[in-house]
Structure 1
Amino acid sequence: MRTLTIIVSLMCMALSVSAAKADRRVAFVVGNGAYKNVAQLPNPPIDAKAMASTLRNVGFEVIEGSNLTRDQMTEKLLDFGRKAQGSDIAVFYYAGHGIAVSGTNYLLPIDADIKSEMDVKLGAAINVDLTLDQTMGDAKVKLVFLDACRDNPFAAKIKSNSATRSVNVGSGLAEMKSGEGTLIAFATGPGQTALDGQEGNNSPFTRALIDNITKPGVEIQQAMTSVRAQVNEETHKGQLPWGHTNLIGAVYLNQAPTTQVANAAPTATAAP
């Protein structure tokens, strides 16, 4: 009986290794905090480092960076886009300042110096929609985590320099819709702001992601339900993560061995 147990365990391990090799996973993980022209954020680099480690532990190749300028972010994104082509799962994680202008979301490099809407749209910030489309467009499963819903540090400047016409500048990030095979998760609801957390620690949203998304045998949408509950409780109902999903199958970042044996195949996504 003991021999049979050992054989079954070895089969589970072999199937797990085989699935991991076949299941190509790539992640972009960046945390920006050392801003040059606005108040700094102490925790995003810490958040990014922890998230990168979490994803590497479940088989992701991680393109990682902290405190990146516009040119450095572009370089990392180009690398990510090349490696994410045709991947089974692509993850995009960003922590730091983000802004919404006229309903479009932008991520801020640490050298951003934004005085007007024109600065935003002509390249001082990173257009989220365009970036995701160009880097993750043909990945089978696309998971996007944006811990960037802090107060817009450039809102007053943009508004004061747009006196001739109305410009909608949000305090948080704007709502986004996900395409097929995509899950998008925000630290808080559209137009709202999220907490950065205690200095030297992870933000409530990133801590909840790390605690839940790679639990063995937990499907990603089930994990995100736990993320929302954890953040809501930790912030005493002051912050509730929000998201949109168009996943068309079950997605596991850390599949349980028993499920691997049953399917005997890579499972970035399974038929519903």
Structure 2
Amino acid sequence: MKTLLMRILLVFVALALFNPSSLFATPERRIALVIGNSAYSSGPLKNPVNDATDMAAMLKKLGFSVMFKKNPKLQEMDELIREFGSQLKKTRGVGLFYYAGHGIQIGGVNYFLPVNARIEKESDIRFQSVNADMVLAEMENADNGLNIIILDACRDNPFARSVRNAARGLAIISNAPSETFISYSTGGNQVARDGDGRNSPYTKALLENMDKPGLSISNMFMKVRGKVKKETG
């Protein structure tokens, strides 16, 4: 029960960072890494770059120092995550990682796909994508306290024929460091829509509510959930 209460408290603290007027607002330095991948040679996506661009702008508005990259290749993603971890370790501030693009899970392990991924068989995943555990490891090494991970990465898998053992959507991450809040665009093992407008339904709903003054944490996420449900059915 004590562990459950602590997790609930950490979730509320994390969510409060999205609203500067919140009771839980903190003066700690805030660092964010925002990545949006759209320009895939296989299965290109319309919205992730838009989602990441708009999320980066919102986070800057909320006081984050933002590292932002559109359509990075594999080596660039690796270097960005390492630099993000280095900055977290130096400042010991609040960390936020946002990723929009293709994601895939194999055996309960999540991978983020760079735009230059060449996946012809399942064994290619390990060498052509970024293991989500890399982000978790950098956060754990930074030992910075509170971290937030937002994943809008549950689109349809463009490599389904090449990777037969891939499950739908992303797996629920259970090995995150303590004091880490993780938010998904949909439930575990489910696929989210890319969206017909500028943004995905989930990111669109977040952007519409993250900076509303006086909006309580619970009301904000009720609005986000209601908005996504209404738009996607």
TM-score bracket, normalised by the shorter chain, equals 0.7 to 0.9
1-structure distance, mates of 2:217, 2:150: 12
Q: State the match for 1:184 in structure 2.
A: 182
Q: Does 1:91 align with 2:96?
A: yes
Does residue 1:126 correspond to 2:130, yes or no?
Answer: yes
Q: Summarize the Cα distance change of 1:101–1:87 in structure 2 as closer, same or farther, 3 Å threshold.
A: same
- Equivalent residue, structure 2, for 1:140: 145
Query: What secondary structure sits across from 1:71 in the alignment?
Result: helix
* 1:176 Cα deviation from its structure 2 partner: 1.6
1:35 pairs with 2:40: yes
Alignment of 1:152-163 (within 5 A): 152-159=157-164
Report the 3-state secondary structure (helix = DSSP H, G, I; strand = E; otherwise coil) of the residue aligned with 1:231: helix
Report the number of matched residues.
Answer: 208
Q: 2:156 aligns with which of 135, 151, 159?
A: 151
Aligned to 1:204: 201
For the 8 Å contact 1:63–1:79, the answer to whether it is kept is: no
Deviations 1:173-229 (A, max 9, x none): 112234421211111111111111115x01100011112233334465653333222
Deviation at 1:133, TM superposition (A): 2.2
Q: 8 Å contact 2:122–2:162 — kept in the other structure?
A: no
Secondary structure of 1:156's counterpart equals coil
Tell me the SS of whatever aligns to 1:174: coil
Highest Rg: 1 or 2?
Answer: 1
Name the % identity.
41
Bigger relative contact order (CA 8 A; separation at least 6): 2
Normalization by structure 1: what TM-score?
Answer: 0.70
1:61 to 62, 65, 70: 65
Query: In the TM superposition, what is the alpha-carbon distance from 1:109 to its structure 2 partner?
Result: 0.2
Write out per-residue CA displacement over residues 131-183 of structure 1, whole angstroms, 9 at most, x where no aligned residue. Answer: 22214652321111100001111121122xxxxxxxx3112111223442121
Relative to 1, partners in 2 of residues 1:234 and 1:21: Cα closer, same or farther, differing over 3 Å?
Answer: closer
Residue 232 of structure 1 deviates from its aligned partner by 1.1
Unaligned segments of structure 2, at least 5 residues: 1-20
Distance in 2 (CA, whole Å) between partners of 1:154 and 1:72 is 22
The amino acid that maps onto 1:195 is R
Q: Which amino acid aligns with 2:169?
A: G
Question: Where in structure 1 are there 5+ consecutive unaligned residues?
Answer: 1-15, 160-167, 237-272
